[in-house]
A and B are shown apart, each in its own frame.
Chain A
Amino acid sequence: MLVEARSDVVATQEGTEAASTPVKGRSLWHDAGRRFLRNRAAVFFVGLLVLIVLFTIIGPYFAQYTIEKVDWSILGKVPALGGPSLANGHFFGVDQTGRDLYIRVIQGTQISLVVGVLGSAVAVVVGTLYGAIAGYFGGRLDSAMMRFVDILYSIPYMFILILLLIIFGRSFSLLFVGIGLVSWLGMARVVRGQTLTLKNREFVEAAVATGVKPLAIVIRHIVPNLLGIVVVYATLLIPEMILLESFISFLGLGIQEPNTSLGALISEGAQTMQYGTFWQLGFPLAFFVVILFAFFFVGDGLRDALDPKDR
């Protein structure tokens, strides 16, 4: 698995006709790209994710209300008049307090995606470095570092997070810190395990023999070879982070009004469902489900493409 060949990530379809042309090297990433593109469901959901992201960028220009504007003409008659309608500009209807659900769903989607991607990014950066260093240097350092992860892992972080949010007041940054703090633990374990198998390989030996410094070996030789498993794990982590945020929002400890997230919208919608205002649950839930589905499928597709064991 050569790192230098990563520029061919973009897959070419004429892999079978390669015999007539000069033989081109096939890297793992090249192969993985081809396998991924062959996975229809994964490609479809990548497209869907792109569409959703585009929608959250372009959608606000069509909105006719702001997230906090209460439509007084509908308030109090929400079950009868608040449904989705093109005529009055509430494309997704209004929520229980007469605010436009279209723009709120867009904002909720943005927040949920940001939470998921940032939480996952923390995991990638911190977890990968931590795991790679622990795994590569081994010995005392490894066991000390992994014991530390073990200890953090078995603390019921959800309760600690709830405590933090209650004690220091709800804030978006604290939520990020809390989610970031827990997200990297699993990544560190996975990466460490992978590093253990990598560090005895020939290319590492060659690097050691030519006098490359240990930290440079970790950064230049170990980490790039871990990218496959890191990418898969990070993609699968995003929906988990979104679920975590929505759970916090359900408890009313997440993002503060008038701002909103998909979790908060869903929990509001679920509470008012019995009055027949199904759109209040339906629209945010649809976005939520599609996003989670998409990340799961893309993650699965990436795993099938990048994990040589499953070939």
Chain B
Amino acid sequence: MIAFILKRLAVAIPTLLVLIILSFILMKVAPGSPFSGEKAIPETVMKNILARYGLDKPQWQQLLEYIYNIIFRFDFGPSFVYRDRTVNDIIAQGFPVTVKYGFFAFIFATVIGVAMGIFAAIRHNSWGDYLAVGFTVGAQVVPNFVLAPILVLVFTLWLRWLPGGGWNDGQWNYVVLPVIALATSYVANIARIMRSSMLEVLHSNFIRTARAKGMPGWQVIVKHALKPAMLPVVSYLGPVFVGMITGSVVIDLFFSTGGIGQWFVNSALGRDYSTILGITILLGALTIAANLVVDILYAWIDPKIRY
């Protein structure tokens, strides 16, 4: 197990370095600079600005210092656009918001999805099953940027139950719509995966044996069928996590929740390169970490898996 974890880490760390170097190079080859305005800046001033941000050093030294600062001091440097803020400040402001509704959406998607999948599998070919399958197919083809305005239209404009945007320090009624908009398609996917793997497990011999020895139905499900049937869902949790991070861009833009996605798009449009770079690397690192955790979890549940 330890060897396995070390092996996975040996992949994760180079991946992270590739990500940092790749985004860094992209930033460097980007045309235009955040300091080039309509008015030409005197040469001495420009020199001072470049020195202030460490841009006068050779490229390789900038890259090494950048990596060093991230890894050992968790410092992403100053923002190029907001003169009084560092990238760390921006992340500290946006990230907790994203984490909060992302966490709820993740739990929501997993619990509801798994429950719905089990239900549909047990009642295979019943009306409940068809309803669940219909929902999973329907939710798959409605992307979150379509679902979000529809939710606002129904719950904010027509029913007037919930606020259609804003964050208000994470008061519960401001969190509900973002969570639903973010989680729905993953509820559907998890339910679909859970249903088909549960059906497969329920047809296997050891379940028949359990039934034959007179075990009550629900106990068969909980004690024997659940764990093997969960395997495909666990391996899907990595993509779910990634999707939630990506989806947060849509949620932040649409609901103005002020999360990291909003900062990403704003700084991208404002060419605030250091902020985009910082956010990309942070989210990339999270993605890599999530995949790592899922892999380890998977190996732990299923001892047969060894890469």
Contact = CB atoms under 8 A, between A and B. Distances in A.
Interface of A: 147, 150-151, 153-156, 158-160, 162-164, 166-168, 239, 243, 246-247, 250-251, 266-267, 270-271, 273-274, 281, 285, 288-289, 292-293, 296-297
A296 B137 contact: yes
Chain B contact residues: helix, strand, loop or mixed: helix
Contacts of A158: 246
B276 interface: yes
Contacts of A150: 11, 15
A164 B140 CA distance: 27
Interface in B142-180: 142-143, 145-146, 148-150, 153, 157
B268 A270 contact: no
Contacts of B141: 239, 288-289, 292-293, 296
Question: What 8 A-B pairs come out closest when comparing CB atoms?
Answer: A292-B141, A270-B149, A167-B30, A250-B145, A151-B15, A158-B246, A159-B280, A156-B287
A154 B137 contact: no
Given A156-B283, A274-B157, A166 B269 contact: yes
Contacts, number: 98
Contact of A159 (B142, B250, B269, B283): B283
Nearest to B280: A159
A281 B283 CA distance: 32
Contacts of A274: 153, 157
10 contacts: A151-B15, A154-B288, A156-B280, A159-B284, A163-B26, A250-B143, A250-B250, A273-B149, A281-B149, A297-B137
Interface of B: 11-12, 14-15, 18-19, 22-23, 26-27, 29-31, 137, 140-143, 145-146, 148-150, 153, 157, 242, 245-246, 249-250, 253, 264-265, 268-269, 271, 276, 279-280, 283-284, 287-288, 291
Contacts of B269: 166
B18 A155 contact: yes
A168 B145 CA distance: 25
Given A166-B269, A247-B250, A250-B250, A160 B287 contact: no
Nearest to B14: A151
B284 to A, nearest CB: 5
User: A156, A160, A293: which has the most chain B beta carbons within 10 Å?
Assistant: A156
A154 B26 CA distance: 18
Given A147-B11, A243-B143, A292-B140, A163 B280 contact: yes
A127 B244 CA distance: 26
Contacts of A160: 22-23, 26, 280
B74 to A, nearest CB: 19
Contacts of A285: 146
Nearest to B268: A166
Given A151-B15, A155-B22, A296-B137, 6 more contacts: A147-B11, A154-B12, A154-B15, A160-B23, A289-B141, A297-B137
B11 A271 contact: no
B282 to A, nearest CB: 10
A267 B31 CA distance: 29
A178 to B, nearest CB: 12
B98 to A, nearest CB: 14
A270 B287 contact: no
A282 B96 CA distance: 36
Contact of B137 (A159, A243, A247, A293): A293
